[in-house]
Structure 1
Amino acid sequence: MKKIIAFAFVLVISTVATFAGERRIAFERSDAVYVANLDGTADKKIADGIFPAISPDGTRVAFNTVEKTNTTYARHIAVVEIETGKPTVFKDVPSDNSYYPTWSPDRKRILFTLRVNELWDLGLINPDGTEFRVLKKGERDKVTLYSPCWGRDNQSIFCEDMTNVYQLDLDGYVLAQWTIEKIIPNGDMSGDDRIDVSPDGKHLLLSVQMSEEHNRKDWDGPQPALWSFDLTTQKSVRLTPKKLFAWDGCWIDDTNILFLSQPAGEKAASIYRLSTNGKDLKLLIKNARFPTVSAP
């Protein structure tokens, strides 16, 4: 009997270790959270919610719950275990309007936005819902800070206010800033655009709205594109060709990215991958949005 129990224990540990080692994509579809293999196969629903962010080890997903009561909505940050489907909702956060969770590379904290007193703050919390604190309070005379994401040092974050991209320390002080129109020719960012830091910490992947002509009849507004900004050289390179409408990008590794695109005639966006040299474009998951990927 002891041998059987020991064997079962080893099998469970082995299964968990294997699961943790697999790379996965988390994404949103029809107001629900899904996960899939890195190649886009074996997708499955794991929770109801939006804005999923998979943990670096690929075992958990942070996301937004959306709870409707009469004519009002409450939105909380939650974390769900992929293997068990067990969610933990963070209801001790002092806001019923929290958004956009993102994991620190060491998996110890979650960064997110929350609305307090009609202003948007940046907050930090542990993955078990403890030790909430405000990283940066919103200010009435300043534009909201959008698109928060972690630096690879676990000690800084990046965000943007539609005019500048900022790097902040964990007390909310500005470490660096870049004017968007200067680093991205003919480009600007909205509150819905996205920033992601490359695994080596050297580049920012920026989702940008381009001020250039396009002839697409089924597209209202500017063309979205993905750019890589080199934090060392302070130079930017456009990663997506002008004929490709691409947004919501994230790094797979230092030379490949995931993103959303919606070809002409399609009714919904899908997840694609592309190498940073502009080659090997591949459709991975149809009818999906807001992809994130576990760490290399």
Structure 2
Amino acid sequence: MSAATFPSGPSRISVAIGALFLLLAAGAAFAFPLAFSRGDAIFFVGAEGEKPRLVARGYDPEISPDGRLVAFTLYSEQGDRQIAVVDATSKERRLFPSVPGKNSYGPRWSPDGRALLFSHWDEKESEWFLALLLLDEGTFRLLGPECKGFYSPFWSADGKSVYGQDLEKLCRIDVGEGRVVETLDLAAVLGEAMASSALHVTVSPDGTKWLFDGDVEDSGRRFKSHDGLLSALFLHVPAEGTTRRLGGDLWAAHPAWLPGGEAFLFAGYEAPASGTDQPLPALYRQVLGDDRATLLIAEGGAPSSAR
């Protein structure tokens, strides 16, 4: 979703929730807590064998590293956006009045689970910034105030730095000092992927690998409803300065690492048959080095797992 674009409204949610989900066959279950979305509904999968549970209404869910909480974007009836956190067990919701303005979205948990990074519209500057919220104190501050018009915030693996991009450059900001300490050419990181404000990047637990999604030309014209573009997944290795597109025939977006850093989740779908509507995305699991993806949950998006 573009940073300046709001959803048109809540999607249809079926009453028969149990029929919406297709868990792995042969009795397989999740060995890690998981959060994902479907329309404006946010679901949580906890203990092994547990069915997905509706825990909140909103968008952009991300589960905390310990698997207890889910941060998300909450919409008001007027269309305002704010950061919220829900307890996956009690469904108790927490809001943060210290965050100014009416437009913050896309929370990302720090590796230690003590802070949230997100995109924030500063009304005085009329511009997007990266913002930090310390949960214990409830304190809010902008990071890299010189970084105006920045999107796609994400954390380094050690939690000491955050990153953001302005469609041309990718900047690393020291969290403690709040200033830019490194600037990279975004195109060199993206490879064949196109720059977008909706770029979603996730760093492996050991910090050696980045996964991200990006649009590429749909040369086979298999996904005709996307104006000739196809969302694909990419692997970037910072130490080597290399980026490669991951294989597979699916439209794929919003990657999320699984514990161990060798497998990941993503939302995707197959090319629709001629004359049929575009399908809703489903959740898949894939292992690095293997182009095959395993369907985990039918009809889901924006997955994240506990570390």
TM-score bin, normalised by smaller chain: 0.7 to 0.9
* Partner of residue 171, structure 2: 166
* Partner of residue 85, structure 2: 79
* Shift of residue 25, structure 1, vs aligned partner: 1.3
* Shift of residue 280, structure 1, vs aligned partner: 4.4
* Partner of residue 132, structure 2: 124
Seen in structure 2, the aligned counterparts of structure 1 residues 38 and 277 have a Cα distance that, compared at 3 Å, is: farther
What letter is aligned with 1:277? G
Seen in structure 2, the aligned counterparts of structure 1 residues 38 and 225 have a Cα distance that, compared at 3 Å, is: farther
* Shift of residue 203, structure 1, vs aligned partner: 1.2
* Partner of residue 188, structure 1: 194
**Distance in 2 (alpha carbons) for counterparts of 1:286 and 1:132:** 37
> Secondary structure of the residue that 2:105 maps to in structure 1?
strand
* Shift of residue 39, structure 1, vs aligned partner: 8.1
Which 5+ residue runs of structure 1 have no aligned equivalent?
1-21
What letter is aligned with 1:166? C
Matched, 1:226 2:238: no
For 1:86-235, list aligned pairs within 5 A.
Answer: 86-117=92-123, 118-128=126-136, 130-137=138-145, 144-170=149-175, 171-211=177-217, 213-221=219-227, 222-235=229-242
> Secondary structure of the residue that 1:188 maps to in structure 2?
coil
What letter is aligned with 1:165? L
* Partner of residue 264, structure 1: 271
**Distance in 2 (alpha carbons) for counterparts of 1:89 and 1:206:** 29
Provide, for residues 64-90 of structure 1, a one-character-per-residue CA deviation record: whole Å limited to 9, x for no partner. Answer: 11111xxx3221111111111101111
Instruction: Report if the CA contact (8 A) 1:214-1:223 is conserved.
Output: no
Instruction: Report if the CA contact (8 A) 1:77-1:99 is conserved.
Output: yes
Provide, for residues 169-201 of structure 1, a one-character-per-residue CA deviation record: whole Å limited to 9, x for no partner. Answer: 114433333323333433222111201001111
Seen in structure 2, the aligned counterparts of structure 1 residues 92 and 172 have a Cα distance that, compared at 3 Å, is: closer
* Shift of residue 204, structure 1, vs aligned partner: 1.2
Matched, 1:45 2:54: yes
* Partner of residue 23, structure 1: 32
* Shift of residue 278, structure 1, vs aligned partner: 2.3
**Distance in 1 (alpha carbons) for counterparts of 2:171 and 2:144:** 12
Seen in structure 2, the aligned counterparts of structure 1 residues 165 and 96 have a Cα distance that, compared at 3 Å, is: same
What letter is aligned with 1:135? L
**Distance in 1 (alpha carbons) for counterparts of 2:120 and 2:71:** 15
**Distance in 2 (alpha carbons) for counterparts of 1:41 and 1:237:** 36
Give the alignment's Cα RMSD to 1 decimal.
Answer: 2.2
Seen in structure 2, the aligned counterparts of structure 1 residues 216 and 153 have a Cα distance that, compared at 3 Å, is: same
* Partner of residue 282, structure 1: 294
**Distance in 2 (alpha carbons) for counterparts of 1:185 and 1:126:** 34
Instruction: Report if the CA contact (8 A) 1:244-1:261 is conserved.
Output: yes
Instruction: Report if the CA contact (8 A) 2:269-2:280 is conserved.
Output: yes
Seen in structure 2, the aligned counterparts of structure 1 residues 202 and 135 have a Cα distance that, compared at 3 Å, is: same
Seen in structure 2, the aligned counterparts of structure 1 residues 38 and 193 have a Cα distance that, compared at 3 Å, is: farther
Matched, 1:63 2:72: yes
**Distance in 1 (alpha carbons) for counterparts of 2:160 and 2:103:** 25
**Greater Rg, structure 1 or structure 2?**
1
Seen in structure 2, the aligned counterparts of structure 1 residues 278 and 37 have a Cα distance that, compared at 3 Å, is: farther
The normalised TM-score by structure 1 is 0.83
* Partner of residue 36, structure 1: 45
User: When the two structures are aligned, how many residues end up with a matched partner?
Assistant: 268
Identity over aligned residues, as a percent? 29
* Partner of residue 18, structure 1: none
**Distance in 2 (alpha carbons) for counterparts of 1:269 and 1:34:** 15
Seen in structure 2, the aligned counterparts of structure 1 residues 100 and 40 have a Cα distance that, compared at 3 Å, is: farther
Instruction: Report if the CA contact (8 A) 1:157-1:168 is conserved.
Output: yes
* Shift of residue 47, structure 1, vs aligned partner: 0.8
> Secondary structure of the residue that 2:290 maps to in structure 1?
coil
Instruction: Report if the CA contact (8 A) 2:114-2:136 is conserved.
Output: no
Seen in structure 2, the aligned counterparts of structure 1 residues 217 and 289 have a Cα distance that, compared at 3 Å, is: closer
What letter is aligned with 2:202? D
**Distance in 2 (alpha carbons) for counterparts of 1:175 and 1:206:** 22
**Distance in 1 (alpha carbons) for counterparts of 2:162 and 2:238:** 14
* Shift of residue 119, structure 1, vs aligned partner: 1.3
The normalised TM-score by structure 2 is 0.80
Which 5+ residue runs of structure 2 have no aligned equivalent?
1-30, 273-277
Provide, for residues 101-157 of structure 1, a one-character-per-residue CA deviation record: whole Å limited to 9, x for no partner. Answer: 111101111111111222112111122561211113376xx5x21111111111101
- Which structure: greater helix fraction? 1
